[in-house]
Amino acid sequence: MNIFRLFGDLLHLSSIFLLLYKLIKIRNARNISLKTQRLYLLIFLTRYPDLFFSYISLYNTVMKIFFLCSALAVVYYIQGPYRATYNAEDDIFPVKYLILGAAVMAFIFPDRYTLFELSWTFSIFLESVAIMPQLQMMQSSGGAEALTHHYIFLLGGYRALYLLNWIYRFLFEKYTPYNAWLAGLIQTALYADFFYIYVKKVWRSGRESLPYDK
């Protein structure tokens, strides 16, 4: 465990708690992409198939369980109790291409050709593009609440810190997860434009609802 991974995990947890707060306390699923959230559920299911037969640490196990359960909860709330607030007409990104692309990358860049490694590699490449339906939805609807922007910013920060985590591990542990580096670079690049908009619109204005434009 290093400081980049620790703070990356904290940002990831914060993003999920913020999303659950919006859904449970505010009771509003507007401008939250169900397609993106279903992708995250698929990501955790394919990343943690070893949950019940491989123990690394209590921290690792608790985090895996939390991510799986929270992803299930988010999908449930959006398509269940708060479906009436979900603007499905704006959530139109063709996610099958993201899944297909991640599958192709998993077969090109695995560390080893085992079922677990293929599943894990698939999950990291799918995570690198899973935010695309959410970003497209915000563009289609013309904006979102500042809370949604905060959620996406925290997710992007988490992945940027994990990229630093991989670099740290390479320098001090000689760990070379080339597939994770590539996925991290793709994901950080996708967030770059959003980060610019976030700083320009959210930090400087402080408004509760913001347009998604430049």
Tens-digit pLDDT profile for residues 49-87: 888 778 888 999 999 999 999 999 999 999 999 999 999
Residue 209 within any structural domain of the chain: no
Residue 151 within any structural domain of the chain: yes
Is residue 211's pLDDT more than 80? no
CA distances from 75 to 50, 83, 179 (A): 22, 10, 28
**pLDDT tens per residue, range 99-116:** 999 999 999 999 899 999
Residue 213 within any structural domain of the chain: no
Q: Looking at residue 214, what is its pLDDT?
A: 45
Residue 207 within any structural domain of the chain: no
- The kind and range of the H/E element at 203 are none
| CA 125 centroid distance within chain | 11
pLDDT band at 199 (very low <50, low <70, confident <90, very high): confident
Residue 170: give the domain boundaries: 3-202
Is residue 201's pLDDT more than 80? no
Question: How many domains does the chain contain in total?
Answer: 1
Distance CA 213, CA 143 (A): 8
Q: Looking at residue 100, what is its pLDDT?
A: 98
pLDDT band at 144 (very low <50, low <70, confident <90, very high): confident
206 Cβ neighbours under 8 A, 6+ residues apart:
146
Residue 179 within any structural domain of the chain: yes
pLDDT band at 3 (very low <50, low <70, confident <90, very high): very high
Q: What is the dihedral of CA 207, 138, 160, 182, to 10 degrees?
A: -170
pLDDT band at 47 (very low <50, low <70, confident <90, very high): very high
pLDDT band at 118 (very low <50, low <70, confident <90, very high): very high
Read off the pTM.
Answer: 0.90
CA distances from 144 to 15, 30, 138, 209 (A): 16, 8, 6, 6
What percentage of the chain reaches a pLDDT higher than 70? 93
Residue 44 within any structural domain of the chain: yes
Residue 157 within any structural domain of the chain: yes
Residue 56 within any structural domain of the chain: yes
Is residue 204's pLDDT more than 80? no
